[in-house]
Structure 1
């Protein structure tokens, strides 16, 4: 795909920040959080003027004939916030060669799969590839027969890279953001060398990046109207919606891939 090749060869600016995440793992949420941290929370207050594709381009996405890379190139911001979902072997080479700041977002594969299943039903370019039922989709997820490939391989290689380069990579969990938002904001501030927010501003940022607030901003003509990019935003939804036999299959593959690695222990 031409847009993926363009993303791989994309030329960044020294102060750029990447959001790297497997689909449906909290990248939209992280983008909104970073917009508030870097550009100020007031940017999140006006749903009519908010344009996530200009504020934080999704590099390999082609929307209305324009790629995220093209939108990023047009940006006048000194510090751009850039998102992608690509695995290590086709990710932007400057992440590795230039050592740019990279926020890696991880989420329980069971919750990511449920959200991805919903996106395949709603996304205009994905509907024709949707599964007839959840079980069929989960089989595809386990085999990596989806856009962006296998969840376990994707994470194995990004975790190896992130751990080998801790100065330029911050690994965060969707579940930790849900559990202790303020703590994770402090980690992001430290990693990005940002001035600390007041506690009151963090509370405001949390409110402005709630599911309800993001849906109001993103489900607009200027952004992703009708595409279902903002789902329920829950952690551990799999506990009530996942077929038990697939819980066992997902957890077995996680153990097989990562052993007792603590970075994925919360997913079992």
Structure 2
């Protein structure tokens, strides 16, 4: 990564790190292929996990096993980021694998437009916002750009920033509500996976992904192998390398419901109140409180 990136705001969304207005707009206007698969998540919602899962599902477990040659930016480009002077969009354009697995974190109004107009397949991963915030706080403490702009190492300070949308990619509640609405309105081309469901019944969610992507079903043994290869320990070994994300803390603890023991009680109330205000009597509230 370069070191000259400055914070900026585009269409109401704040960015700190290896991004530019040009890289965001290039992602929005990206010319995709008809068989592309988009991976859409708010940061720290299980993004790297679902990337690794899809790499195993679509390209084969042997790609995950080949640690020496594993390079996630070539296998699943991060569309809007700039790494070593190259945008994720540019990497995607040189990707020969098909279908491509294209990762992006952008809200609906900045996301690749062909998700909406071209009927591209899109997988949304949603996670309890309290666990998202805890993982994001950890990431802000390890990723060099974010650490520089953290301002305070205090968790409550960060949770206030999260609650007010003063983090990369904006306010989680606004972000997730709009994506959920779109996915529900377009179920043929969009699949929503809950992080917690994937933790609870991995095989069941793999079957949902296979069906959505029209893939031949894996054997139970192959699913077990995929689960082992996408464990926190396995992903750390694969990704904490020079050609991937060495030292950045991309793979965190990978736990569900960690907030129950680590979240300040007053912030549990604040997060849950905003969740209820955002979703009303929608049944999805139960996933997020």
Q: Does 1:30 align with 2:50?
A: yes
Q: 5 Å matches for 1:153-232?
A: 153-232=174-253
Question: Which of residues 57, 63, 72 in structure 1 aligns to 2:77?
Answer: 57
Tell me the residue number matched to 2:272: 251
Q: Does 1:122 align with 2:142?
A: yes
Matches of 1:25 and 1:111 in 2, distance apart? Answer: 8
Give ranges in structure 1 of 5+ residues lacking alignment.
none
Q: 5 Å matches for 1:69-84?
A: 69-84=89-104
Tell me the residue number matched to 1:88: 108
Matches of 2:149 and 2:281 in 1, distance apart? Answer: 35
Tell me the residue number matched to 1:106: 126
- Runs of 4+ aligned structure 1 residues displaced above 3 Å come to none
Q: 1:259 Cα deviation (Å)?
A: 1.2
Tell me the SS of whatever aligns to 2:249.
Answer: coil
Matches of 1:226 and 1:86 in 2, distance apart? Answer: 24
Matches of 1:63 and 1:76 in 2, distance apart? Answer: 19
CA contact (8 A) 2:71 2:244 kept: yes
Q: TM-score, normalised by structure 2?
A: 0.92
Matches of 2:23 and 2:154 in 1, distance apart? Answer: 30
CA contact (8 A) 2:141 2:153 kept: no
Give ranges in structure 2 of 5+ residues lacking alignment.
1-20
Q: 1:65 Cα deviation (Å)?
A: 1.1
Q: 1:78 Cα deviation (Å)?
A: 2.3
Q: 1:127 Cα deviation (Å)?
A: 1.0
